[in-house]
Amino acid sequence: MTVVPWGHDFAALAERYGSAPAVRHHGRSCSFAELMDRATALARQLRGEDMAIVGKPVATFLRNGLPAVWASYGIMLSGACETALNPGLADAELAHCIGLAGAHLVITERAATARFRDLPVRVLTVEDLEDARAPIDPTVAAPGDAWGKLIFTSGTTGRPKGIVHSHQGRWLANLILRAHLPFVPQPGNRVLLMTPFSHGASLLTYAFLDHGASVELLDGVAVERVRELLERRAVDCVFAPPTVLAKLVAAFEGARFDGLRTIFCGTATLTPALYRKVRAMFGPIVRVTYGKSEIFNPITVLQPDDCDAFYRRADDTGGVSLGWAATGVEIEIRDGARRCAPGEPGEILLRARHMMLGEIDAAGFHPIGDGFHATGDVGCLTPSGELLFHGRAHDVIKSGGYKIYPEEIESALAGTADGSAIAVVGVASDYWGQIVVAVAETPPADWPARAAAAAGSLTRFKQPRAFLALPALPRGGQDKVQRARVLDAIADRFRLLDGPHPRFEALV
């Protein structure tokens, strides 16, 4: 049986880099030795309390900070399945995710314990754990095929579903990511991470720390703190999806920063207009990757030189470049069962050695097997193997890096318009990627207020940014609302005033 040598790998990091800073957050820092000592203490407690913890879900509910990092390493070292919960989840979704995973233990901050009072989980707080230290045992390993990471996304009904990865897949994905970095990080390099550690930011943490470089964590896009770090050249890399990039170029308009080496970008489409603004501010240093919850990043990679070359000719192409396949990743473009020729768009299908083990939904766990994963994304391959992304096969809205299913929002708004039909769509935005907009067919005058109140039950990123009215919602032959035509109707009647707080004004 294949085993993953977490103990050996982490002990080597602690021995080699020792007192060097590994993670910084709000003026506090944690050295490599301290990080691994804390992780080992947590791993021992988890294994000591339940020798059958290997492969079992252990949830974390932590905002960006030092504990998020040592808790992640500790769960890996214990052999358990790290189940990262987004701190932004609404109570109902939090309960759903806990139940779906079958987690009986959650690690969180003391201030968040009330969120779990009515849930069937035992809570460990980082405040009670952070003083514990233990020397690492280099012989500790995890079974390669055991569950190692559980990520939550959204299913076709809009309810989150679980994506399960093995310890072996997690370890292999880290090697592949390191192999495709645009340069080899060294001690003294530091990457700035602002998006939730429960999402993709953690992947760059492991890759940089493995080389002795360090991580600067912010809990969100604190613009003035980012400005200070950039002006002092205290960081040389930044992970910034398009939503974050839009905030930075808006806040720093007219400025020029020359100290960055790479901007790591992904999770949403980078528009040519936004790329031009980023390039003017930071230079041609953007590196794009294609990632899915079902396959750890990277799937494809567009390195900075290739990225700049693409966006110089972007207006002449039939899609947005996502680069070329990472090592071991297979890409097929299909139209149904037929494989598409180069340049012909179809659904993107993927297969890789670091792909998920399977999915969890209300019906249980479903192993994926050895076949290709159908992404629901539409794109094409060029003759050279470059993947061009055209859009999403279904009606998924991607706003601020989150996937959002309109049916879930429409269900929450049902009845608020006194029987009028309601459709939820994503309006293109340079700032957010897409903006969630609810549209009703000739609703009563107080509908926006009633709809906004009903949407308050949703997680914040799912709440519509605008509530608009149309005289009629476009429908097809079976009386089904056609979202693409709803977007056209919005464009005909309203102008988007884009930015962090978007709004629409009626056209005269």
pTM of the model: 0.83
Question: What is the reported pLDDT for 506?
Answer: 92
Contact 414, 455 (CB under 8 A): no
Measure the CA–CA gap between 35 and 23, rounded to whole angstroms. Answer: 8
Q: Are 142 and 79 in contact (CB under 8 A)?
A: yes
Q: What is the pLDDT of residues 456-483, one digit of tens each?
A: 989 899 999 999 999 999 875 445 678 8
Q: What is the pLDDT of residues 216-231, one digit of tens each?
A: 999 999 999 999 999 9
pLDDT for 358-411, tens place per residue? 999 989 999 987 789 999 888 899 999 999 988 777 777 889 888 787 877 887
Q: How far apart are alpha carbons 47 and 289 in whole angstroms?
A: 36
Q: How confident is the model at residue 157 (pLDDT cuts 50, 70, 90)?
A: very low
Find the radius of gyration of the CA atoms of the chain. Answer: 23
In order of their start, the domains of the chain are 403-506 (3.30.300.30)
Q: SS3 string of 260-290?
A: CCEEEECCCCCCHHHHHHHHHHHCCCEEEEE
Cα dihedral 231, 234, 239, 243 in deg (nearest 10): -30
36-40, 47-51, 74-78, 197-201: least confidently modelled range: 47-51
Residue 207: pLDDT band with limits 50, 70, 90:
very high
Mean pLDDT of the chain: 91
How does pLDDT run across 408-451, given as a tens digit for each residue? Answer: 788 788 779 887 889 999 999 999 999 999 999 999 999 999 99
CA 126, 127, 130, 132: dihedral to nearest 10 degrees?
A: -110
> pLDDT value at position 480?
67
